[in-house]
């Protein structure tokens, strides 16, 4: 497996998320989501669960400066989002919960929510909030991962994690994949009184320079970092190496061709309209 000497490993989890996981994974989904939403110049756009702001930044390229708001409840993610967007106020980043959006009704042309819905304790309430803040006929675009077995790299990772760190170790990662079928997202959107609901199953090709890179950044740049907290550096490194070896041993050789770790990643991407 290749080393990581060219990657800077210092920094907080949100900084590492922005530096490594966004370009490899979420930027691809963001380009697709923004395209599906058909964002036009000067439209008002809200990015719910914006994280470090990749969706908001791509949306802002289409609307122009001053039209996009990002919202998240994680201060660390918001502070990286502000830095990554240039810190010039072109995008406003707000601390808040998806369950209680701090905006007046009938405010936005477009609401986007990428890979966040699965974490919300009340998904119906969050979607009703998104509908409330949309203008009549306003557009929603929302994505969630499909079952983890449908994304072989992530599946090999959680199986390895459980073998190395115990059977609860992968709960956070498995939780990202809690939607079992496109119909579950469709039903939530209908129940939140959206119209013209459509959910597509979409696949992106994901590639990391090596298995070790993939495992390391899953374990350092996401909430899974808590699994390694408090352990000496030598033990953390040994655990990362063990998980990476297990992932390599159990992955289809085609996923490891040329030393690169590559696999298809699947998500359900929903679009819908607020009642006109
Ligand atoms: C996997 S990240 C996705 C971030 C970003 N949308 C992206 O695609 O890179 C999930 C984000 O959801 C946020 N989140 C979780 N629960 C939330 C809630 N109730 N309200 C607002 N944001 C929430 C987390 O803080 C995190 O930044």
The CATH number assigned to the domain holding 243 equals 3.40.50.150
Q: Reply yes or no on whether the pLDDT at 70 is more than 70.
A: yes
Q: Which atom of ligand 1 is nearest to the CA of 99?
A: 19
Ligand 1 contacts CB of residue 51 (under 6 A): yes
How many angstroms separate the alpha carbon of residue 116 from the centre of ligand 1? 5
CA-closest residue to ligand 1 atom 14: 49
Mean pLDDT across the stretch 36-47?
98
Q: What is the pLDDT of residues 215-229, one digit of tens each?
A: 999 998 888 888 988
Q: Which atom of ligand 1 is nearest to the CA of 22?
A: 9
Beta bridge partners of 246: none
How many angstroms separate the alpha carbon of residue 2 from the centre of ligand 1? 31
Ligand 1 contacts CB of residue 74 (under 6 A): yes
What count of Cα atoms within 13 Å lies in the side-chain half-sphere of residue 131?
A: 21
Ligand 1 contacts CB of residue 43 (under 6 A): no
Mean pLDDT across the stretch 136-156?
98
Q: Which long-range contacts (CB under 8 A, 24 or more apart) does 160-169 make?
A: 160/215, 160/243, 160/244, 160/246, 160/247, 160/250, 161/227, 161/243, 163/246, 164/239, 164/242, 164/243, 164/246, 165/227, 165/239, 165/243, 169/227
Residue 43 domain-assigned (yes or no): yes
Ligand 1 contacts CB of residue 97 (under 6 A): yes
31, 22 contact by CB (below 8 A)? no
Least confident range of 7-11, 49-53, 160-164, 219-223: 7-11
Mean pLDDT across the stretch 150-156?
98
Residue 66 domain-assigned (yes or no): yes
pLDDT band at 125 (very low <50, low <70, confident <90, very high): very high
pTM: 0.94
3-state secondary structure of 46: strand
Q: How many domains does the chain have?
A: 1
Ligand 1 contacts CB of residue 99 (under 6 A): yes
Residue 4 domain-assigned (yes or no): no
CA-closest residue to ligand 1 atom 13: 49
pLDDT of residue 223: 86
Ligand 1 contacts CB of residue 70 (under 6 A): no
Q: Which atom of ligand 1 is nearest to the CA of 97?
A: 20
Residue 151 domain-assigned (yes or no): yes
By percentage, how much of the chain surpasses pLDDT 70? 96
Least confident range of 10-14, 25-29, 90-94, 190-194: 10-14
Q: Which among 23, 72, 93, 114 is the best mutation to test ligand 1's pocket, defined by most ligand atoms within 8 Å of the CB? A: 72
Residue 209 domain-assigned (yes or no): yes
**Residue 22: domain span:** 13-273
Q: What is the pLDDT of residues 185-217, one digit of tens each?
A: 999 999 999 999 999 999 999 999 999 999 999
Beta bridge partners of 69: 46, 92
Residue 129 token pair: 């909030």
How many angstroms separate the alpha carbon of residue 27 from the centre of ligand 1? 14
Ligand 1 contacts CB of residue 115 (under 6 A): yes
pLDDT of residue 11: 60
How many angstroms separate the alpha carbon of residue 147 from the centre of ligand 1? 19
CA 118 to chain centre: 10
Ligand 1 contacts CB of residue 55 (under 6 A): yes
């Amino acid at each position: 497996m290749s080393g990581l000497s060219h990657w800077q490993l210092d920094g907080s989890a949100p900084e590492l998320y922005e530096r490594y996981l966004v370009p490899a994974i979420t930027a691809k989904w963001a380009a697709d989501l923004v395209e599906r939403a058909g964002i036009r110049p000067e439209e008002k756009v809200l990015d719910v669960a914006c994280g470090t702001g990749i969706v908001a930044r791509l949306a802002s390229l289409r609307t122009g400066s001053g039209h996009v708001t990002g919202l998240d409840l994680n201060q660390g993610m918001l502070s990286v989002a502000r830095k990554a967007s240039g810190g010039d106020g072109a995008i406003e980043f707000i601390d808040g919960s998806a369950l209680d959006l701090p905006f007046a009704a009938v405010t936005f042309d477009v609401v986007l929510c990428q890979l966040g819905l699965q974490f919300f304790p009340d998904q119906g309430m969050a979607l009703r909030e998104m509908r409330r803040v949309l203008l009549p006929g306003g557009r929603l675009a929302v994505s969630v991962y499909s079952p983890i077995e449908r994304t072989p790299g992530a599946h090999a990772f959680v199986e390895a994690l459980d073998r190395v760190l115990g059977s609860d170790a992968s709960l956070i990662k498995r939780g990202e994949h809690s939607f079992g079928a496109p119909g579950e997202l469709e039903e939530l959107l209908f129940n939140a009184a959206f119209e013209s609901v459509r959910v597509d199953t979409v696949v992106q090709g994901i590639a990391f320079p090596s298995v070790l890179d993939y495992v390391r950044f899953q374990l350092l740049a996401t909430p899974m970092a808590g699994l390694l907290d408090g352990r000496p550096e030598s033990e953390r490194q040994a655990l990362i190496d063990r998980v990476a070896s297990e992932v390599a041993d159990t992955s289809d050789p085609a996923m490891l061709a040329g030393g690169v770790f590559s696999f298809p990643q699947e998500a359900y991407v929903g679009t819908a309209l607020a009642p006109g």
